[in-house]
Structure 1
């Protein structure tokens, strides 16, 4: 029997019927152009050890997709083991076809028309495929019930419910691994990171078991489409853990390939959703939500990247559009589906954290409140929702209300101390904004004793707060700023083979305390507050800003009262930058511009704190933007981006410059080609 094949040129060619293989290799959603080009080829023999290079017809030679597939096949073999060969359980999810149109672009999706009664119809002739149509729905419902327990702070109950089916159900495995990864991300505990990585690897193997097996059929069943989106999610989460856990370049390359594979899969699944041949199944909403989560996350994250980083990603086809990403996540969060919670959390993280720490505070606080309100109403004691409620009040400048919310979050549950640590960090900053140095020290001390994220940063903050107190006040704490500053370098740790930028910054600032007669830092808590964009928070309230300006004036007077040292110019420029920020938020724009310019005028005399100059240019540019001096603002921002490198917190500054340039140019796009869809 000869099998018909229609090439992209429209000429009909014949191919020999594929030889039946006892155990075909599981295939990815990705197909090479050669598979639809109409060229005559015999059915390949699939072996576990074989790697088939994919030729790029545009460039010649092996394409990145071929290299990625090579890595992916080896990775899938290690992860899945014999899982891909296991027979399907009668209770496995539905295998009814949801792709039944020949109108799809064969180069992108390679789907084939599946007609009722045709020999390619899955499930109609094979008893092993005759699964219950509702089993996928039941799995999703059970996982959502487990998430409900998680929202109610019954973390162990949620994990126990998922654990019972995590070896068979891809959604149970994915949800179980995701919760463990959330725990690892909050603790930075090496054991938690390792356990989460192993569990996510097992979840990926379960997803692999449910993915499309046949390399010849172009039909995807409902189960197989869900397996693709779950598989892409596993890859993305494993890549994140790889960056946290491993310290060698090979691990980074593997992590990058996982990200690329995930990105491509989400793009192709989005094409499926937009195609005329896609039929809505019973669980369409859950599948669509998964695609919107991935597509939205990639677009949003890539749109925020600095230009230098983006150029590397453009080479392999990444691009992002912030507005499209936010739209996808908004749509994904608005439905009551399995991934609506994750879409919601990502939006909340963007509006309340990423836009402040890695941006210029352009997050939509009103939108964040609207997103949170339904969850807070349903789960009034849910720790994660109380935490975000506190963060929203904090960035609005309502510090007393924020403190109350964070305290409620700590009281709501005792199972996961990680939520407490997140609250301690925010409480430390709330009391910093209020200039309550003793209370800020108290929470920094709790973090240094209980949390493993950055012992060096916690020690530095403790020393910084003590430096704002009198010697008599410091006696009650049993520690001195000198001993704490000297401890900072010895507490440095590495994550993903690199020291944390915040730790590097703290170590550099603490160096002057190793001298026999150290010259104290002028206002270390206020400087670190700038690193975390705290002036955008206090700028919303006049009394908070005026209080901080008063503290800076006191530091200025103290600096002028001592003899000049090698640090004098650096310290003066630091105070000028911070005073300029306060004056800008108070509406004294001419004075603010004077202080920003003062930093630039002393550029050649700065010896250590070289980060001050590009940040002064950034703040000056933002000030010009507020005044409508758009061209001048862009010029200042481009100067900050192009003319300075190898300074403290450089990546964070470049994130903020990128956000400011997007605001100035009125675009949310990032990348050479930014489509309205992936």
Structure 2
């Protein structure tokens, strides 16, 4: 679909146009979506919000400093523009001409609420981008953005829900007033109900459809907040609650679910948020317990099935299908879905790199070293997130193949590629790189280092029995006493996944690591 197809003459209003743009974006039409939002960004707050979100999403997936800075600038412009009381005059004229049945007050209230939601969204996105710097000043600044956003979300969520409840109450009163006096009580009561309905009707400025869309709009940020805060570690959660935030997982999930079924432009984004929670956050934070890695896959599968018609070939939805298969320990199906997602991305580099990483990681779990190299090699060259991490992965895979001289050459460069030592991943590869600089690692040790990464990323529970047993062979090959603690830790995790009958062996290996430390 081209931007011309999205001309406002063929769309009911700004909210429909904005939703069309987001659907374009998620249906692999990044360039078309950006063109549509850019064309109308100065005529509507919603189109300006969509325009800034496109840049935010690209920056978040790429981690490139230039794109992060550009997205921050555009988000700040959006925030400023939506705080100006007399902005977007053209948009208001268009709305007034299309909604002749609505009063000027109705449009004004809708616009006021929508702008406040956009301001909160802009602050939320700015906080996320600011946190990517991973230093104390950025955490403080990001926290300040978050607090401002949360206060707006909390206020608007309550306000819009109150409007909705008044509408429901008014409808109940209308139904009661329409009943015959013999059913509704005496004639006097019926008359009083009718009078109250008129008063409520005058104060009820927005249509039910608009209120439902606005509630969907605010629920996206409100639900995202509740959900993310609810999975924080207890110590951090106490600090967050002290700062005025609250986290209710069920409230967050319900809010995002409401948004995903609304007519707001963020409905597809809420769907992605739910998929991210069920396939990434739930297993990573062990929300369902240590062995509940696949617990969220049924929910994720149901969500994707409900949106199949709208996003049949979306690279992002195919990506999440790949996640579902991986969590279900279906590696072949997982790789197939990731490859389909890669093909459908059609040159969207950020999504291609996401898929390449997952494909390479699946091959790593199978100890197919050569098949990992293309993906990790491209990531090391093109990704701006952590060149050191991807170089480390590439180096140990080459070493695992027996090309020790080349592997040592790559691994020696890793410490110099580290940009942020306070980043846990980069701090880890820095320590490993410093040790490997002094002496070239053996082929067996490179293979063990790959298993160590699988342990750290909680990948061992998502391996099949056929994939786990060759890993034990790698552990058996280790002869260096200095590698004993890594070997024992990995062996313990593998035996644990092989079944209850091996749990005693797993415990003994964990004890060995504890004693060695």
State the TM-score, normalizing by the size of structure 2: 0.79
How far, CA to CA, are the matches of 1:412 and 1:225 in structure 2?
37
Deviation at 1:141, TM superposition (A): 1.1
Question: Of 251, 261, 272, which aligns to 2:159?
Answer: 272
Task: Identify the match of residue 368 of structure 1 among 297, 300, 315.
Answer: 300
In the TM superposition, 1:105-254 aligns within 5 A as 138-210=13-85, 221-245=109-133, 249=137, 251-254=138-141
Alignment of 1:292-311 (within 5 A): 292-311=219-238
Q: 1:88 maps to what in 2?
A: none
Q: 2:492 aligns with which of 566, 576, 580?
A: 580
1:247-293, Cα deviation, whole Å (9 max, x unpaired): 562x5433222111111111112212332446452422221112221
Contact between 1:492 and 1:499, CA under 8 Å: does it hold in 2? no
Corresponding residue to 2:364 among 432, 440, 458? 432
Q: Which moved more, 1:518-527 or 1:506-515?
A: 518-527
Distance change in 2, residues 1:577/1:605 (3 Å): closer
- Partners of 2:474 and 2:126 in 1: CA distance: 49
Deviations 1:445-493 (A, max 9, x none): 1211221111111111112212322x3xx38xxx622112211111112
Query: Aligned pair in 2 of structure 1 residues 221, 378: CA closer, same or farther (>3 Å)?
Result: closer
Aligned to 1:322: 249
Partner of 2:148: 261
2:186 alignment counterpart:
none
**Residue 554 (structure 1) aligned to one of 464, 474, 477:** 474
Q: 1:517 to 1:273 in 2, by over 3 A?
A: closer
Once residues 439 and 433 of structure 2 are traced to their aligned partners in structure 1, the CA distance between those partners, rounded to angstroms, is 13
- Deviation of residue 543 (structure 1)? 2.4
Deviates more, 1:549-558 or 1:449-458: 549-558
Q: Contact conserved, 1:549 with 1:579, CA < 8 A, in 2?
A: no
Name structure 2 gaps, 5 residues minimum.
Answer: 1-8, 88-104, 168-203
1:590-669 aligned within 5 A: 591-600=502-511, 602-603=513-514, 605-606=516-517
Change beyond 3 A, Cα 1:285–1:204: same
| Alpha-carbon distance in 1 for matches of 2:283, 2:432 | 23
Q: Is the 8 A contact 2:52 2:75 kept in 1?
A: yes
The match for 1:352 is 279
Q: 1:484 aligns with which of 398, 401, 410?
A: 410
Change (3 A) 1:533 1:335: same
Flag the 1:592–1:487 CA change in 2: closer, same or farther, 3 A: farther
Distance in 2 separating the partners of 1:577 and 1:382: 39
Cα distance change, pair 427–273 in 1 and its aligned pair in 2 (3 A): same
Change (3 A) 1:517 1:329: closer
* Counterparts of 1:136 and 1:499, CA distance in 2: 48
Deviations 1:320-365 (A, max 9, x none): 1212211221222133432211111111111111223333536510
Task: Report the Cα distance in structure 2 between the residues aligned to 1:405 and 1:552, rounded to whole angstroms.
Answer: 28
Question: Cα–Cα, structure 1 residues 237 and 137, in superposed 2: closer, same or farther, change >3 Å?
Answer: farther
In structure 2, what is the equivalent of residue 506 of structure 1?
Answer: 429
- Whether the 8 Å contact between 1:579 and 1:592 is mirrored in structure 2 is no
Instruction: Give how far 1:193 is off.
Output: 0.7
Cα deviation digits, residues 206-247 of structure 1 (max 9, x gap)? 2212599xxxx9x98121111111111111011112223585
The count of corresponding residues between Structure 1 and Structure 2 is 444
Whether contact under 8 Å (1:210, 1:227) holds in the other structure is no
1:137-195 deviation line (CA, Å, top 9, x unaligned): 61111111212322332211111111122123111111111111110111111111111
Structure with higher helix content = 2
The answer as to 2:380 corresponding to 1:468 is no
Contact 1:167 1:206 in 2 (8 A): no
**Structure 1 residue 431: Cα displacement:** 0.7
CA contact (8 A) 2:117 2:217 kept: yes
Residue 405 (str. 1) matches residue 357 (str. 2): no
Cα offset, 1:441, TM superposition: 2.2
Gaps spanning 5+ residues in structure 1: where? 1-133, 607-678
Instruction: Report how far residue 440 of structure 1 moved.
Output: 1.4
Question: More deviation in 385-394 or 550-559?
Answer: 550-559
Equivalent pair of 2:492/2:508 in contact (CA under 8 Å): no
Q: Evaluate the alpha carbon distance shift between residue 492 and residue 577 of structure 1 in structure 2; reply closer, same or farther with a 3 A threshold.
A: same
Matched residue SS, 1:317: coil
SS in 2 for 1:283: helix
1:493 is matched with which residue: 398, 408, 419? 419
SS in 2 for 1:453: coil
Change (3 A) 1:505 1:246: closer
Q: Distance in 2 between matches of 1:334 and 1:582?
A: 42
Q: Is the CA contact 1:183–1:192 (under 8 Å) kept in the aligned structure 2?
A: yes
CA distance in 1, matches of 2:24, 2:512: 58
Is 2:312 the partner of 1:380? yes
SS in 2 for 1:368: helix
CA distance in 2, matches of 1:363, 1:237: 29
Kindly report which structure 2 residues correspond to 1:332-343, keeping only aligned pairs within 5 A, or say none: 332-343=259-270
Q: Confirm or deny that 1:526 pairs with 2:451.
A: yes
1:394 partnered with 2:326: yes
